[in-house]
């Protein structure tokens, strides 16, 4: 039972009145995984700890499951698919709307849980909960807009129809940096069209996944339709392999590194699964001489330092034209000094939390040191902090060149590496000189340049004079080795649908 706040309210959804009860932070913490409508432990009783990256405090232990429990989850989802696929779009829409309302009602408690296990500031966590909930709202509406087609026949006496049907069980594997939104963006689309799911959340952040699942149970998700398998880093590879190779799983959706994505793609080949991948990025952020300097600096702050720089669409290479370079760097440094507050994400005013673990800190520090050794200058920051082992100082690197590791690897930390360029052609060449193509940004007030650059950037997501580009309504995905397929928007449901052609003769 929930520990209840005094506040209660009711909500009308799809013609039915249901009551929403706000839950406390502690009541949303689950120490069991969720399989076939039941909260269960690992069969061998093993668990692993979930730790607050800001201070190393123990939060809760959760089941360290293996392939045995994962197979049970797959079997449950496979069985539940037979009935779930036959529900009406209106029924599925109604449940998703309820789930959305429950997440919104419990936003503060979910945000606190998210901050404790992931480390991001409360402001970032609240924003993620809102963003994550929006996918259930969006796909609740899209559930009723999955249309077929009628095609004029070439032969008399025939009728040609096209219908769309749910593909089956979806294996959903999600990352630690957006542990709510990356689940809802995939799961909302899958459920909306009649698929069932087995979710494997990141080992660093399983608690938010379980909390979302708890609210889904309250919203009325039937047993077996949604399953959550938790596992440690040790057991995760074999669980991923089973999900990819099991013939009962029809599609895989993964968000994470390109390296892991390639492994999952290879493992899925044996059963010729459909695979949706949202992988690594190396986003260019271009500031042309014609840019509004203040807006470009503000955009950089928002794009670079959200979630302490740990997002796949963060500005990774900041390219600034030589005519505005010095002014931009000066203003950016001032903004960082005046606006960025590092600390525990639960503390008031903090907007830069810890990195996810010490390995992430060491990677960032290594990239900074490589750049300095090759001639870059640490204008501000550039070192580990004494707040805790997972904190890194917000940093500006100037005089960065394309031979430095920070220009080729995702930094995934609060480091702004600034590269000088001369011409538009040079900027485009640098921006596209990467195997990744997820997001790209640029600031310019030249309308002709805006069209040219937007079309020439080899990325799936473009922000022109805008750095906050993520929303439920858009198709999210990348070019090149940044992934396959699209999530969100009207295109998001396509990843979970089969297209069937029906030819009716003798008419």
Catalytic residues: 278
User: DSSP letter string over 365-390?
Assistant: HHHHHHHHHTT-EEEE--SB-TT-TT
Q: What CA–CA distance (Å, rounded) separates 174 from 65?
A: 16
* Residue 12, number of CB atoms within 10 A of its CB: 10
**Contact residues for 185 (Cβ-Cβ < 8 A; gap 6+):** 132, 135, 472, 476, 487, 488, 492
Helices marked H in 306-458: 325-339, 358-373, 424-432, 447-456
Q: Which of 416, 423, 401 is nearest to 329 (CA)?
A: 416
DSSP helix/strand/coil, 502: strand
Q: Sort strands 33-35 and 38-40 into parallel, antiparallel or unpaired.
A: antiparallel
**Contact residues for 448 (Cβ-Cβ < 8 A; gap 6+):** none
Measured CA distances, 442 to 100, 295, 455, 460 (Å): 34, 11, 12, 14
Residues 292, 295, 299: CA angle, nearest 5 degrees: 135
Q: Hey, what's the torsion of the CAs at 384, 390, 391, 394, to 10 degrees?
A: 80
Contact 79, 223 (CB under 8 A): no
Q: What CA–CA distance (Å, rounded) separates 294 from 306?
A: 18
Contact 79, 224 (CB under 8 A): yes
């Amino acid at each position: 039972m929930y520990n209840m706040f005094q506040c209660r309210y009711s909500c009308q959804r799809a013609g039915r009145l249901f009551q929403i009860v706000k839950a406390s932070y502690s009541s949303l913490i689950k120490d069991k995984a969720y399989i076939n409508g039941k909260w269960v432990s690992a069969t061998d009783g093993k668990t692993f700890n979930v730790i607050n990256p800001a201070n190393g405090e123990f939060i809760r232990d959760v089941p360290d499951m293996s392939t045995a429990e994962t197979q049970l989850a797959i079997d449950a989802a496979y069985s539940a698919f037979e009935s779930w696929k036959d529900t009406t779009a209106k029924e599925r829409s109604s449940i998703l709307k309820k789930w959305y309302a429950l997440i919104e009602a419990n936003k503060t408690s979910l945000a606190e849980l998210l901050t404790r296990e992931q480390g991001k500031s409360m402001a970032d966590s609240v924003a993620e909960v809102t963003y994550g909930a929006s996918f259930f709202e969006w796909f609740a509406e899209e559930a009723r807009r999955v249309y077929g087609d009628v095609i004029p026949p070439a032969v008399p006496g025939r009728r040609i129809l096209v219908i769309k049907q749910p593909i089956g069980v979806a294996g959903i594997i999600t990352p630690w940096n957006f542990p709510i939104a990356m689940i809802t963006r995939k799961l909302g689309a899958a459920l909306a069209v009649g698929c069932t799911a087995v979710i494997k959340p990141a080992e660093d952040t399983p608690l938010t996944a379980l909390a979302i699942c708890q609210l889904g149970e309250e919203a009325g998700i039937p047993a077996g339709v949604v399953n959550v398998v938790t596992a440690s880093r040790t057991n995760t590879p074999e669980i991923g392999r089973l999900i990819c190779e099991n013939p009962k799983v029809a599609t895989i959706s993964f968000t994470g590194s390109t390296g892991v994505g390639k492994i999952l793609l290879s493992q899925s080949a044996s059963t010729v699964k459909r695979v949706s991948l949202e992988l690594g990025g190396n986003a260019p952020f271009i500031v042309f001489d014609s840019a509004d300097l203040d807006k470009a600096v503000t955009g950089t702050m928002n794009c670079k330092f959200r979630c302490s720089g740990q997002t796949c669409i963060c500005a990774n290479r900041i390219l600034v034209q030589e005519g505005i370079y010095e002014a931009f760097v000066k203003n950016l440094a001032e903004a960082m000094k005046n606006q960025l507050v590092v600390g525990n994400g639960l503390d008031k005013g903090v907007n830069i939390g810890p990195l996810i673990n010490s390995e992430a800190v060491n990677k960032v520090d290594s990239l900074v040191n490589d750049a300095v050794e090759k001639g870059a200058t640490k204008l501000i920051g550039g070192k580990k902090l004494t707040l805790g082992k997972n904190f890194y100082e917000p940093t500006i690197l100037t005089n960065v060149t394309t031979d430095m590791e920070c220009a080729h690897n995702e930094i995934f930390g609060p480091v702004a590496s600034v590269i000088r360029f001369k011409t538009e052609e040079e900027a485009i060449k640098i921006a596209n000189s990467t195997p990744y193509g997820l997001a790209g940004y640029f600031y310019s007030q030249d309308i002709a340049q805006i069209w040219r650059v937007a079309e020439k950037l080899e990325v799936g997501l473009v922000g022109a004079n805008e750095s906050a580009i993520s929303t439920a309504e858009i198709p999210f995905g990348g070019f090149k080795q940044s992934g396959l397929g699209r999530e969100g928007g009207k295109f998001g449901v396509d990843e979970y649908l089969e297209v069937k052609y029906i030819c009716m003769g003798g008419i």
